[in-house]
Structure 1
Amino acid sequence: MLTWIKIENICINTTFLISIISTLIYWIYLVFPQKNSISKIGYGLVCLSCFFLTIGLSLRWIINHYFPLSNLYESLLFLSWAFMSIQIVLEYKLKNIFVGAVSTSVTMFTLGYSSLFLPIEMQKAEPLVPALKSNWLMMHVSVMILSYATLMIGCLLSIMFLIISSKKMVSLNMNNSSKVQKMSSSNINLLDNLDNMSYRIISLGFPLLTLGIIAGAIWANEAWGSYWSWDPKETWALITWLIFAIYLHTRINQSWQGKKPAIIATLGFIIIWVCYLGVNFIGKGLHSYGWIS
């Protein structure tokens, strides 16, 4: 007999399976861009996987009577949901396959890590500790994770920009023919599109990050009596904010173009993962509830 918990697990496992298939489809389309129907299938599968994960998270919310963001497992599931939801909106608006290619890849990673590598004990829901019994749990943590997902998609596009541009330069340096003294217009357009998309998406994620940090400070004052305590998580969140503030400052002032801001975005991608995962495993802090034993 199926229970609600079993249905929840089925939904999450189905999401992971579909994410693997959709990732393969997107990358096949990048190799064979003439097959437009392939990209539509991939987009449809992402919508389907987002639907299943929404059901899974909703059931977990209903069963346990709190918004599912109290531990690492639930956080990774919500991050995966954020990747898919943001991808669906961005790909629909921007009409660009690269958004789906990078987003599905990192979604597959987060779902795989949460399902296959986390111990069963960490996947089980437990009663909330007193500090987490607050409406700020949904406000602060959900906004922070949405900002992480948005910023990481933008950063991945910058990383793809660096990879493609470096390959083009190597190709040009190896070929001495006068016919390839400069990149073709199609290659330049591709790099410009990646650069512009990265900038626009990071510009969307930065206000979310700012709002999430402000909400966290208000919650910290309510829970611990101080707006800022230089907890490791808080410190790295500030570092993350500064990295992307520098990125946007250089882009708005047009002092840097092309590779330099893309390198900053690549650094930002690493910093986000350190802030999101690394800090919790390096050492305990006020934000370590349900993450490490």
Structure 2
Amino acid sequence: MMLSINIQNYLDNLTFLSLFIGMLAYWTSVSFTSLKSGAKVGFISVCIANLAIFTNLGSRWLENGYFPLSNLYESLLFFTWGITAITVIIERNISISLIGAVTSPLSLFVIGFATLSLPEGMQKAAPLVPALKSNWLMMHVSIMMLSYSTLITGSLLSILFLVLTLGKNVSLQGSSLGGTNLQQVDTRNMSMAVLEGTIPNKTKLGSSDSLSLLETLDNLSYRIIGLGFPLLTTGIIAGAVWANEAWGAYWSWDPKETWALITWFVFAAYLHARITKSWQGKRPAILASIGFVVVWICYLGVNFLGKGLHSYGWIA
């Protein structure tokens, strides 16, 4: 047991250090365009953090015999693993250091909260309560956590879009349906231009072989949220089936269930606006930013109240 605790502490420290180095490297890459190695160091650091989290969760799974999503500490690890995995996938296909620059601080904060703020007793694995002794634990909780990671990342990119276009009247002319191909482009110069406010107050960005930074952020946000929404839908349905098996009712209007439904409606409105009204740019980004707050309330806010059927395994 002592060996296991030591391994967990080592992996936690490695994850925190890797994310910290990655954050500094990404920020350096964004601030100093001449230092091209910054983004590479950031990417490698995030990969190491992702692997460390995977190893941590895998070791807990092998040691305890059940999927490691039974308490707040494990869920925060899985949540961060999802965010870092999405960051790695994006970075492998598109060279935009701004994405790692905004996801790495979030990942670092979550890991810091999980390892430094949570009591040691909440970080230890404990025997499952009867309601969690089900095969639905892996399916429902893992899918919900992946949906949270995906939706948070997509919403974070929308917030970044709003920050970069603050005070600018930007009109995008790409495809709201995500029909434009995302290619490997170097957007460092464009990102610095936006950060320094050197783009005109009214900018029209049309489709081209090399997408602009703003088009790419808008399109990426839409695609990532478009992936997270069906995950959320599947997770809610799986949860309803599990609830009927465990509590005898598919839906009990538990606070967690209610906020999951609110989250679903917010992102359904976002996707509806993108697909049917061909909204792009600031208006859907505002909707996604609202979703960013709603997901956090659904994920953590409700549980910290200590009320409802979903409070076990979260609040000591």
TM-score normalised by length of structure 1: 0.91
1:251 aligns with 2:287: no
CA deviations on 1:191-216 (whole Å, 9 max, x unpaired) are 22211111111111111111111111
Question: Which runs of structure 1 show a deviation greater than 3 angstroms over 4 or more consecutive aligned residues?
Answer: 179-186
Question: Residue 263 of structure 2 corresponds to which residue in structure 1?
Answer: 240
User: Any idea what the Cα deviations from partners look like across 1:129-171, whole Å, max 9, x if unmatched?
Assistant: 00001111111111111111111111011001111111546x9
Q: Which runs of 5 or more residues in structure 2 are unaligned?
A: 170-192
TM-aligned CA distance change 1:92 to 1:223, over 3 Å: same
Alignment-derived partner of residue 262 in structure 1: 285
Residue of structure 2 equivalent to 1:81: 81
Describe how 1:1-293 pairs up with structure 2 within 5 A: 3-168=3-168, 180=200, 182-183=202-203, 189-293=212-316
**Alpha-carbon shift at residue 184 of structure 1 (Å):** 8.2
Letter in 2 for 1:134: S
Q: Are residues 185 and 35 of structure 1, via their aligned partners in 2, closer, same or farther at CA, if it must alter by over 3 Å?
A: farther
Instruction: Read off the aligned partner of 1:5 and give its amino acid letter.
Output: I
Structure 1 pair 195–180 and aligned structure 2 pair: CA distance change class (3 A) = closer
> How far apart are residue 94 of structure 1 and its match?
3.3
| Aligned residues of 2:140 and 2:236 also touching (Cα < 8 A) | yes
Spell out, residue by residue over 1:53-89, the C-alpha distance to the aligned partner (whole angstroms, 9 max, x if none). 1111111112222111111111101111111112111
Tell me if structure 2 keeps the 8 A contact 1:236–1:275. yes
Report the TM-score when normalising by structure 2. 0.85
| Amino acid paired to 1:93 | N
- In structure 2, relative to structure 1, the CA distance for the partners of 1:279 and 1:193 (3 Å cut) is same
Percent identity of equivalent pairs: 57
SS of aligned partner of 2:166: helix
> In 2, Cα distance between the equivalents of 1:255 and 1:224?
42
Give the structure with the larger helix fraction: 1
**C-alpha distance in structure 1 between counterparts of 2:35 and 2:53, whole Å:** 28
What do the CA deviations read for 1:167-196 (whole angstroms, capped 9, x no partner)? 546x99xx9xxx95644869x932222111
Query: Is the partner of 1:67 in helix, strand or coil?
Result: coil
CA-to-aligned-CA distance 1:223-257 (integer Å, 9 cap, x gap): 11111111100000000000000000000113432
- Residues 205 and 215, structure 2, Cα contact 8 Å, conserved in 1: no
> What secondary structure sits across from 1:284 in the alignment?
coil
Pick closer, same or farther for the CA change 1:2–1:283 going to 2, 3 Å: closer
- Distance across 2 between alignment mates of 1:181 and 1:72: 45
What secondary structure is seen at the aligned counterpart in 2 of 1:166? coil
Instruction: Tell me the C-alpha RMSD between the 2 structures.
Output: 2.3
Q: Secondary structure in 2 aligned to 1:3?
A: helix
CA distance in 2, matches of 1:237, 1:2: 38
Unaligned 5+ segments in structure 1 are none
Conserved in 1, the CA contact under 8 Å of 2:155 and 2:225? yes
- How far apart, in 2, do the equivalents of 1:231 and 1:8 lie? 34
Kindly state the Cα deviation for residue 97 of structure 1 after the two structures are TM-superposed: 2.3
